[in-house]
Amino acid sequence: MDRQILPPKKPLHPWNTNKNELLSRNSSKIPQASELRGKPATEAHLFILKTRSMLYAVSIPKPCLSYPKTTFHSQNPQNLKRGGLRVSATLPKSDGVKVEYTPWLIVGLGNPGNKYHGTRHNVGFEMIERISQEERIVMNTIQSKALVGIGSIGEVPVLLAKPQGYMNFSGESVGPLAAYYQVPLRHILLIYDEMSLPNGVLRLQPKGGHGYHNGVKSVMEHLDGRREFPRFCIGIGNPPGTMDMKAFLLQKFSDAEQKEIDGALAQGVDAVRSLVLNGFNDRITRFNLGQKYKYNKV
């Protein structure tokens, strides 16, 4: 008989879950890893505990986020660096091993509404939508003025967000979300358009300034002026000739440009997955180098 995953008796938040409580409720029917492989993250968030030669998995239901009654915004940068919100599971003392995952807040910048869909200034939204599709993370909840979705990349919990207060006020969503969930600065990934890069060229950075990007500037202001958070820049090129910059940003891509952007988004999903699972390592360095010479081979 196939084993089934039984839901807990009451809703539990995946980022603040008592492992012993989960184990006691699911001890009678603990699924094998092979049974869980390929299941969408929206069906069950899996916390994997490895002990000696056996692999156990504990399941909890898809959580539902709601707008907090009181939005907490830390004025102390240290609160954002601590990373107090974690998914952890302590194994038996004989093993002496503690598995701990720090969640990621992945934010795409853009403007809400059909009017701006497909414009250059909204490629951050497009990347979030692509990640949502590939990782099967449903985005259907409003929290802190942002459309959000909660899920995981591998075993790492992630919160995807698209601020709905327009580009220049993006920080009004990012700041409260980061503070409410106590996501450390190093795990806040900001995705946005970048005119200094050719169309379709990508760049991952561990930190940086706002580069006169009003959306990034707003985010920094709501993170107490801190700049030590990763950013994923998507090149959109410069305005041709004397074209007004605002008109250029709010213009839709040409067919040729959109084809380049579509290819970049596919590469971007893989890069984000690598960053979340492995951090800024040699693979990210090679990715950036490959993007640098994407259209100028040497």
Task: Catalogue the active-site residues.
Answer: 121
Give me Rg for the CA atoms of the chain. 20
239 contacts: CB under 8 Å, gap ≥ 6: 195, 245, 247, 248
Q: Report in angstroms the alpha-carbon separations of 133 from 46, 138, 140.
A: 19, 8, 13
DSSP, collapsed to helix, strand or coil, labels residue 60 as strand
Number of Cβ atoms within 10 Å of the Cβ of 184: 21
Residue that has been written with the tokens 């952007």 in this structure: 261
- Element (DSSP H or E) covering residue 241: none
For residue 220, what are the CA distances in angstroms to 21, 165, 216, 223?
Answer: 39, 16, 6, 5
Q: Which of 74, 231, 70 is nearest to 143 (CA)?
A: 70
Residue 27 contacts residue 49 (beta carbons within 8 Å): no
Q: If DSSP codes are grouped into helix, strand and coil, which group holds residue 151?
A: strand
DSSP, res 51:
E
